Structure 1
Amino acid sequence: MKNLWNSIVNSIKGIKSWSDFATKANLTIEVIRRIVLYIIAGLFVMLSLTVGLGFGYVSALTNQVAVPSKHEMRTQLQDVNNSTSLYFADKQKVEDLQKTLTGKRVSLDNVSPYLKKAVVATEDSDFYKHSGVEPKSLFRAILSDITGIGTQTGGSTLTQQTVKMQLLSSETTWKRKAVEIFLAMRVDKYFTKDEILEDYLNAATLGRNNKGQNIQGVQAASKGLFGKDAADLNLAESAFVAGLPQSPSIYTPYDNKGKIKKDISLGMKRKNIVLFRMYRDKKISKAEYNEAKNFDLKGDFLKPDKAKNKKIKYGYVYNLLTEQTRTILIKRLAKNDGISYKALKKDKSLYQKYYTQADTELHNKHYRVDSTINKKLYNDLNEQAQGFQDNLGTTHTDNATDPNTGKSIKVKEPVQNGSVLLDNKSGQVLAFVGGLDFKNSQLNHAFDTQRSPGSSIKPLITFGPAIENGMIGSQSMLADFKTKYKKYAPTDYGETIQNRFISARETLEESYNIPSVNLYNYIRQNGVSSKQYMEKMGINLSDDEYKQLGITLGGTATGVTVLQQASAFSTFANKGTHVNPYVVDKITDPTGKVIYQHKHKKKKVFSKETSYIMQNMLHGVVTKGTASALSYESNFSTKNLFGKTGTSNDYRDNWFIGSTDGMTLASWIGYDNFYGNNYNLASNSTDINQELWSRMANAVYKEDPDVMNVHKKFNRPEGVSSYKVDKETGTNTGTIEYNGITSKVNQHTTNSLYYKGQPKNMSYDSFAIGAKPKNYRLFWNNYFGRNNSYGEVKQLGKNSKSAKEIASENGSGRTSGFSNSTNSNQSSEVTTSGDSSTNSNSRGSTNSTTSNGNQETGTGSGNGNNRTSSSNSNGTTMTDESTGNSSGNNSESNTGSSSTSSGSSTNSGNGSSGVMNGLIGGTE
């Protein structure tokens, strides 16, 4: 190019005559012509390349899109003024979701001719000429989008807008635009212009009506703005409605309360623009234009009115299915865009985008959601819970500050219930109780509140792993003496100690705390991590929580939901396999296509042998332990029922979870303490919750006995071994040396179940987990006839109640007897021998035990700050100034090994967030 220019310059300098000039000029013109041709050719090549790349890009994107059939497109295009329908498991409808847009579909014949002309003139003047896409408009929009110059809304035809509203999401990516073009051309091919225009007129969002509702479609706009049908709109009214789609929130004359805005000038200007375009396109005459322009439209608007509130009968089901379906759609939308749900959760703004998109889909598209909830069983459970609510405890009335208005209000704090009925084999949630009064509290206490599980967590976090790893058998002995791990000093229920050795079986039956803590410490010190088991069962705790010994008593930082506990507990009924629980079974889109079908997810947690032993041990809980009342409160056979109770400190939470072969039913009761109150349950809350559980279980059994399958036995696997052991030591019978004399120990025997492992040989001082030398001395002296304090229940705190009172208020009522799980054949496999002891006088009434174990004082971990001073039911005043989480350091424990201790803390309820902060150890 440089040489060419130099040549031109030199030629000009060499001109000597007009003939030379003419020759040179012709040469210059030819050179310039060639340059121009080269530039044009280059631009053409570049344009061709760009177009080719564009078509290639569009082709690549559209190849990733499932091509909808004509039927599918027709269904979706006409799917307006609808919302998602929710169904019970038996195909009975729960409810249609409340629509965010209100409207009614109308045929094109019933739309004013003025309105049809106004929309076409305003939105797409070449609508009847193009094939769904207008190339020049599209090019203008792309250029505007790249350069940022000019409007960014001029590229969409009416067909494209209809496709965007009805077939696509509202995102503004190049990919969506490419798919939009592809589908618009397909829609134009299959449907007439009038069909497309009708779909547009019914789908367009058109601001608010005089009730403050968002409206969709021209019929709703006509009725909501002017009180007339779309067919009866005059020219000015038609022009106003036609101008709304560009920016409905700005041009609409009403606010969200249905009141006319102070300034509606922008809407009026937009109306005049529409009229001008109609006049420009010769759709109306100049006289019609002037008359409509000067029409008093403001006086035509309707006066404000109130919208009727729709009552929802099944509020908890409605909210639960809406929430879970929305989450499923969010995951699906993100996956379609190549974004993982895990990554999405980390980006709040991006998550909100998909949340809004999914929510809009739910409320404005006619999806169908089929759930697992059995309507009859749901009604049965809730009728029992609501009918029993007056017995659950005191309803407190207090003054509080409304967090929204800051005003003082009177509030009621009733005892709440959250319950879940789970099908063990499938994981289906058959029914649940979200709360006792949806009108007063929409918080779902079965799915959304996290509370301390108390001792109901013991089988999951401690005893199951111990059995699985062959560390104990059902009759292995655990120490229940005064103990301390650094600053952590657990006690049994009522701040007591049993002052004796207790079998693993009885520890669960009576829910003693100290033996459970000793066992948890023991398995941790021997390299067994409970975390791997808990996570497989759907319960995720932090590493710091696992370090706290109080975790075995329910001392979690945030707590667990009723669903989580029920699901985890069902693992034992499923022979050690955990099945993920679920509520949404299937989602069908408006075309009838199933877009989601639940897939069962199973994980092996425990062996079938461990599960059987746990079932066997926990059966004693309902025959003679802390839930023995169920044996006469239930209207069905409890021969194959097993379960576990749980209470957190100061009776803050109370649980019972029971399982048969067919189902698991979990019930929790407690106060929300929404406004910072510190209300706790009554001391007899265990009996109350069990009666509620039995009422619900009886109703389920009456409605459908097959759900419970109470007559199905849990057969003993071949891998479970039964050993005859000494009842007092849990070891093989044998001899020991006592006071220099070798003595035979075999007076009382029983059977102990093992998976892996086997009983230890008889010894003087190594048969009990968590025992100190002085504990062994006390035991053997008592065994060989000395009258000492072994087996006498001792109170360590200020509790003024007797052991008998403590036992009777909280479960089985056992107050005396060396009740080392001497089980009948009906209650379990373990039986005692018929031998009698010559030293039985020392193991009779002196060996008192509390009935249900066991409230610990200052047990568990916790991360909550609760600064409320309160007196518990035992008369002990506690000022909750602790921050919890005082984990302490490793210290020498009863076994001589090191352990991590838990800090002292009491729990603080935070019902408003559904989370218990600073939760602590369970009491029973």
Structure 2
Amino acid sequence: MSNADPRRPPSPGASPQVLPGKAVPDENEAEQTRAAAREAAAAARTFGHHLGVLVSSAARGAGRGTARVAGTLWASRPSLGRRTPQDTAPPPAGPARVSSATPTGAPIRPGWITGLRRRPIRLAILALVALPAAALAGLVVYSFATLPPLGGVVPETGQRALTVEADDGRVFATRGTFQGQKLTAADLPPRMAQAIIAIEDRRFRSHWGVDPRGLLRALWRNATGGGIREGASTITQQYVRLTSLTQEKTLRRKIQEAFLALRVESTMSKDEILLGYLNTAYFGAGAYGLDAAARRYFGKGAKALTLPEAAMLAGLVRAPSQLAPTRNFGGAKERADVVLQTMVETGAITAAEADKARAQTITLRTPPETPPGTNYFLDMVSGEAKRLADTAGDVTVRTTLNLDLQSLAEGVVARRMDAEGAKKKAGQAAMVVMNKEGAILAMVGGRDYEDSQFNRAVQAKRQAGSLFKLFVYLTAYENGFTPETVLVDRPIQIGDWEPQNSTGRFKGAMPLRAAFAQSVNTVAAQLADEVGIPAVIATARRLGVTSDLPNVPSLALGSAEVTLLEMTRAYTGVLAGLVPVDAYSVHAIRGGAPQPLYVRPEARGGKALPTEPRAMMLESLQAVVDGGTGKAARVSGMPAGGKTGTTQDYRDAWFVGMTPDLIVGVWVGNDDNSSMNRVGGGDIPASLFHDFIQRASAQMARGRKRPSAARAEPAPAREVTPAATATAIRGVPDVIDTGTLAFRGRTVRLLGVDGEGGALARQLARYLRRREVACTPAAGGETGPLRCQIDGDDLAALILAAGGARASEDAPADLLAAEEQARSERVGLWGRQR
């Protein structure tokens, strides 16, 4: 490199170094340019590295790591974010000089390169803060732009509400959604308004729809409580959510809820908002709106609510399904006490008024939970009620169901099938119990409604087998045959059909009474051929069979498919002597008006069966039980008759039996139509009839008084006093054994019962499933064994009478008598000792 001073002109005579018109290149400037390029590339690489660290740290939520990186960058460059005089000073003219503080050969970094390195880091940090804020602002704008109209959501009401009563007036089930009446300001009890404001939104009268103070309080309590412990929605926000928004839990819906709440507050008064909220809020057990809840739980309109009742309803809206008194009366009562205390704190009532309210009697008008086994019956009743009174609004249906007989029917089916079903490959059973007028007193549609809602008593069509011979013999008796008429049991052929006996043998000449009692197929086929299949079909139609009946010879042996209900109905007609018997399940239907919507007439028309043929048929039916195929159905000291039925390969087994007062139809089989292990109608079905009838007479003798169905009298209320619940235990228990229950972690031993485990405990668990049990202390106090009730019956007595346990040494006389009954009947565990 030349040492000549570039600022001096070249000496004369010096040879030129460049072409004319071109600048003379300076080697120092070229070197500085190359150094600047290298520095720019290094700065870009450094910036990319640090930006990647920042972004990845933010994505991983590593806040402290990001702050540490950023802090390091700021600390290493104190001048970051401000320009120094050196940054803005023009570069010196002439050759670059190396600072004494700079190592020899180290490049000088111009100010614009330093700014290039520092500014992107600052922008990246700003972006990490600004982008979420921008996204939130965008969400707010979008939520506002897509606001739905006020009142745009109409709650789905589902099917109309049915309150279902048994024949004695006891309410045992509800179905559908209760709507009640829309309240006006004059209908709203002041105490109810005070209670709902106290527990849900204390500042309701002072805020403008959104309560910042309540929001901050909820955030603090949730943060310090380790979870969501308190909500921040005002009554206004809850109202707009119910009437204008969906129930989705998103930030967008929450923003829209706040916007709409502000809009509602500007267009409606506080009283109008409160009234609208109470008319739409859900109070559990299918009740929407305050009036519906008052009628659902207490059997009265909202205007008649007392202070303790209002407090209980106000406490439900936070957790209606969990605290509904039909499911959890104790929890509902505890929550009501909290509401009363809150009303004291807000000045709505005095402490003395709260104490007085806690001491008042609370009367529930509803059952705890629908007994699972009655759901088959309820499914049928729902359709029948719609047919008889298809009107809008909530209705109460008085049914024909006898809860005592229903419980008995469920119990005998469960015990017998648990004991014999598996080894005999019989998976399902159904039972129908009727009286002579056709009222359905009990119905078991299957072994477990929760496993299968298919009602085998009403919906299943199966071949009737020998059960169909009733129509053949009755037709023959009406055409001159008698029980003493003799026919020959022999091989026969009718067209291409050759009927066979189940035994494969023939007995020769025999009277029709014996042929019917022994269910001889060839004799029935001869009779049907003699009187004609069309005449047999006509008789079946007269007695109420509505299924298809083919005009073929095999119809005489039950090749047609029928339901258990219609066959039970047909046998009822023979007992009643008036055909067809109208099988029915509804006595009366009441709506909101005092006048019933429907009342079943006391007398129904029908055609009388001829006296002599009917008497012959009843005699033949009794012969089946006395010494024929239905001997297992015989009950000591009680006249009974019936008929067995068994289909090919033991796919179906039937028994329809009768006493002077009851007709009981039973079917046993498998849903997939598979064969059982040689189960005929005289086996499990006849035994089920025996088990039921043996105890049914005693049940009916001590039955409750039945209110008049003709006047459709309302059911009596079920009273529950706070004083009782303070020392008692209520709820749906878990079964430890047949003498020990568990209520929400507390173990209860039944007085007088030594519990059994295994299959008996499982049977009890199925029986108690979702049904409320109330237990009160016995002589030993709360620490000793308790006496428990279910639907008004003593649970220990039911268990002992069913053979579910042995009586303990401390059992009182009534429980010892129940055990003795089970011993004599050899049911439950006593049946094992045969």
Interval containing the TM-score (normalised by the shorter chain)? 0.3 to 0.5
> Could you state the TM-score of these two structures normalised by the residue count of structure 1?
0.42
Instruction: Provide TM-score, normalisation by structure 2.
Output: 0.46
- Larger of the two Rg values belongs to structure: 2
Which structure has more relative contact order (CA 8 Å, sep 6+)? It is: 1
